[in-house]
Amino acid sequence: MLRVVYRTVGNPASGRLVNIDEYRGRLDVQLREGVNIEEILHALNDELEQFLAKCGWFQIWRGRVISANSPESPLTVQYVTDPDVDLLTCVQVRECGGVVRVHVCPDASLKQFARVINLSTERLLAGGQWFQYFEGEIVTMDSAERDAA
């Protein structure tokens, strides 16, 4: 099983605004409380760019395996504030050929964002188009959870 869990914390382990830890079948994304959503999204973009450059997460798009090193369309995740996303919806995830864009209501609180992005990410991963290569093992949504953190 694959999971990405966002949570707000007083001070992420790294001391930065955002910290990403990778485990078998799971990413743990810590967001510093008390920071406005635009700052967090900017920090998320920076951290994810660095993370994706060296991680083992992949997307299957129309029969092609896409990674951060794919020359035609490298795997990227971008968070943007979008005034067209209402507060109730909070988050809209759009993906196309290696590019995932997360549109976020600029009025969302950090706790609301974390709650909604967890649900949105769960739905995205449930589509079965993602996998993780972790310590020599391919982990998918169908993989046993027994060893997942």
Stretch (H or E) spanning 118: helix 110-126
Looking at the 3D structure of the chain, how many domains does it have?
Answer: 1
Question: Residue 146's pLDDT is what?
Answer: 57
Crossing angle between the packed helical segments 110-126 and 37-54, to the nearest 10 degrees = 40
Predicted local distance difference test score (pLDDT) of residue 148? 45
Domain span including residue 54: 3-139
| Domain assignment present for 146 | no
Inside any domain, residue 147: no
Residue among 45, 49, 40 at smallest CA distance from 7 = 40
Judge whether 145 lies within some domain.
no
Classify burial at 35, counting beta carbons within 10 Å of its beta carbon; exposed 0-12, middle 13-18, buried 19 or more: middle
Distance in angstroms (rounded) separating the CA atoms of residues 149 and 145: 8
Which residues, given as ranges, of the chain have pLDDT below 70? 146-149
pLDDT on residue 33: 96
In a domain, 63, yes or no: yes
